[in-house]
Structure 1
């Protein structure tokens, strides 16, 4: 069975519930990055109304996809087009339910989102920010071809600095 990315624009209550369920099935991520078990339902809804976007970005700049394996939603991925400059996309989150991690599906999801990003006119670079306390994420992103830029940012909503990585397209 292969994964499929399904774009979510204006989620229904059922889609929000599915996304919340996926988030609740990845407690290690939230614990490692934010020190809590999962985000609130309002935060998930905020991913779609623009309230969680960086200053100057609009909801159309962000694309959110549910990751399906068959009929089951097993993850999600968020990509912000034109993050620091028009040719750059920032992956805000790539999350799989913990029961599906370690099975090669993360690579398939990343390759699918990279394919979408490559289809956007003018894209040259993909970035990701990894919270330094999320040490299990670094080997995965390095295997995907990302390299640390030397940039770090501090956001008090996270347990540690965000370390930025990039990959040329």
Structure 2
């Protein structure tokens, strides 16, 4: 078994409008195209096309009850360093929706995702008092669903349809895609 480097110390901050192009590039590199095959989160065998675009990311940045968190390597100087990870948090009633989770393929498997998830959970509790994180994952991504389950997420049994015909979400390579809804209670500290 290969020993992995320890989880990194990340700087985490909310994204602003100047960060939108870097967020789009990061998400695309983690999920679509040949660059995504450098990591294990690729959807390139399931979907062609784009995963997101600047308008969609800017809409999250502008939303009053949502934000994009950026993970920055502390070794990179300044807040303008390229992000090594990102995620979306959105208030969803008493919970928080967790999505657009991406880690640079060259940093996957080194604890960056776990560290960012922990920071996102803490931010959801701090901002909204969230009791749980909820997310959707393409159900056919059994390896990714299993990873989230190891982190405490559980399938709710709810399935949501894939938005076929809306190329903002990609161009499906198969006709059976759907989203599984996963939920994880947040860890509360006294």
TM-score range with shorter-chain normalisation? 0.7 to 0.9
TM-score by length of 2: 0.71
Q: Which runs of 4+ in 1 moved over 4 A?
A: none
How far apart are 1:164 and its partner, in Å? 0.4
Aligned residue for 1:2?
A: 9
- Partner Cα distance (1:132, 1:23) in 2: 19
Mapped pair 1:44 → 2:44: no
Which of 128, 136, 139 aligns to 2:135? It is 128
Q: Structure 1, unaligned stretches of length 5 or more?
A: 51-57
Q: Is the 8 A contact 1:24 1:37 kept in 2?
A: no
TM-score by length of 1: 0.79
Which of 150, 167, 171 aligns to 1:143? It is 150
Mapped pair 1:153 → 2:160: yes
Deviations 1:34-55 (A, max 9, x none): x125446xx23322226xxxxx
Mapped pair 1:75 → 2:82: no
Q: Give the SS at the match of 1:31.
A: coil
Q: Structure 2, unaligned stretches of length 5 or more?
A: 1-7, 37-41, 77-81
- Partner Cα distance (2:51, 2:185) in 1: 31
- Partner Cα distance (1:114, 1:143) in 2: 16
Q: Is the 8 A contact 2:96 2:124 kept in 1?
A: yes
Provide the aligned C-alpha RMSD in A: 2.2
Q: Is the 8 A contact 1:3 1:68 kept in 2?
A: yes
Deviations 1:1-28 (A, max 9, x none): 511212013x12xx23322331242134
Aligned residue for 2:179?
A: 162
How far apart are 1:140 and its partner, in Å? 1.9
